[in-house]
């Protein structure tokens, strides 16, 4: 007998019948923890949408009850005592494959960010062409790995600094594990717009309608010229060195201890194991 079916965490819909604008909805309560299933479904959704010749624009939106885009990678995928080297390598390769493909996708890609967007969620957004974030009190944006006791992955850091207005500012934010408020993220160049609460979906649709008119070939080939070499190097490094060496790093006693502290804190906050989504 087969086990119970697992509900999808990522779904695809289209804004209109002509399917020119695709919407990828992120829904894994309570915080869109990005585990192996989550990243696998993201990659499958991207492949499916890119194969549709009608589609020109891809929008990412969170459908959570709370004001969170995603809380980042699920700590259970990174906490060595609760995973294996084989599982971690697969997790990291799937994640890297999706992010590098998204970075050079021929589609116009837009991240509609409602609320908090640390680490893995920020990296997904930074691989999109355009980012809009709401001004919720809980809204933040950044790569906060340092504050949790682990290093920022190499190509995540490079992409972050590439988008930030200056390399020096990017390095400062990364080394401090800073999470910027939307007004700061806008000023730093990390996002492109802020919008009021309740207006996000309307605003990203307005942007999509405008950007879908850009000539497809010119847009796609220019993106490859700008990002192709970086994406190829990132893919090779992420799927080989990081996937193999990362688990050894996660097994270091100081990192195991730090991640256990974070994991215990999340679990102690209520909601049991499901609550333990990461901000990595």
Q: Tens digit of pLDDT for each residue in 166-182?
A: 999 999 999 999 999 99
**Structure-token pair, residue 190:** 């990390």
pLDDT at 271 over 70: no
pLDDT at 11 over 50: yes
pLDDT greater at residue 279 or residue 122: 122
Tell me the HSE value of 162 on the side-chain side, using a 13 A CA sphere.
15
Domain boundaries, the chain: 10-275
pTM, to two decimals: 0.92
The CATH architecture that domain 10-275 belongs to is Alpha-Beta Complex (3.90)
Model confidence at 124, pLDDT cuts 50, 70, 90, reads very high
Model confidence at 273, pLDDT cuts 50, 70, 90, reads very low
Residues paired with 61 in a beta bridge: 25, 112
Q: Which helix (H) or strand (E) holds 175?
A: helix 167-176
Highest mean pLDDT (candidates 57-66, 247-256, 258-267): 57-66
Nearest to 79 by CA among 62, 67, 71, 91: 91
Over residues 17-49, the pLDDT tens digits come to 889 999 999 999 999 999 999 999 999 999 999
At residue 222, the pLDDT reads 97
Q: What is the sign of the dihedral through the CA atoms of 260, 98, 38 and 107?
A: positive
At residue 112, the pLDDT reads 98
Number of Cβ within a 10 Å radius of residue 256? 15
Model confidence at 279, pLDDT cuts 50, 70, 90, reads very low
Over residues 133-166, the pLDDT tens digits come to 999 889 999 999 998 888 999 999 999 999 999 9
At residue 4, the pLDDT reads 64
**Structure-token pair, residue 185:** 């993220």
- For the chain, give the percent of residues with pLDDT over 70: 94
Classify residue 256 by its DSSP letter. H
Over residues 216-236, the pLDDT tens digits come to 999 999 999 999 999 999 999
- Tell me the Ramachandran region of residue 206: left when phi exceeds 0, alpha when psi lies from -120 to 50, beta otherwise: alpha
Q: For all residues of the chain together, what is the average pLDDT?
A: 92
pLDDT at 116 over 60: yes
At residue 16, the pLDDT reads 85
At residue 136, the pLDDT reads 83
């Amino acid at each position: 007998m087969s086990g119970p079916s697992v509900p999808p965490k990522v779904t695809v819909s289209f804004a209109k019948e002509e399917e020119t604008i695709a919407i990828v909805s992120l829904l894994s309560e309570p915080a869109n923890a990005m585990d192996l299933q989550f990243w696998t479904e993201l990659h499958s959704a991207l492949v499916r949408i890119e194969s549709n010749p009608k589609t020109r624009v891809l929008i990412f939106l969170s459908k959570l009850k709370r004001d969170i885009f995603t809380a980042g990678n699920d700590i259970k995928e990174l906490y060595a005592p609760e995973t294996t080297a084989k599982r971690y390598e697969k997790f990291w390769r799937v994640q890297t494959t999706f992010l590098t493909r998204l970075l050079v996708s021929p589609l116009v890609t837009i991240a509609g960010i409602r609320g908090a967007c640390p680490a893995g969620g920020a990296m997904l957004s930074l691989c999109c062409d355009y980012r809009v974030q709401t001004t919720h009190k809980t809204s933040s944006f950044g790569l906060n790995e340092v504050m949790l006791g682990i290093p920022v992955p190499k190509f995540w850091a490079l992409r972050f600094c590439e988008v930030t207005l200056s390399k020096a500012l990017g390095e400062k934010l990364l080394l401090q594990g800073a999470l910027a408020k939307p007004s700061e993220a806008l000023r730093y160049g990390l996002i492109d717009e802020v919008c009021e609460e309740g207006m996000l979906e309307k605003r990203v649709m307005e942007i999509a309608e405008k950007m879908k008119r850009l000539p497809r070939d010119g847009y796609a080939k220019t993106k490859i010229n700008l990002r192709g070499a970086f994406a190829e190097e990132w893919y090779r490094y992420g799927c080989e060195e990081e996937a193999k060496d990362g688990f050894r790093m996660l097994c270091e006693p100081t990192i195991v201890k730090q991640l256990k502290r974070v994991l215990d804190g999340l679990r102690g906050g209520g909601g049991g194991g499901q609550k333990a989504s990461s901000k990595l």
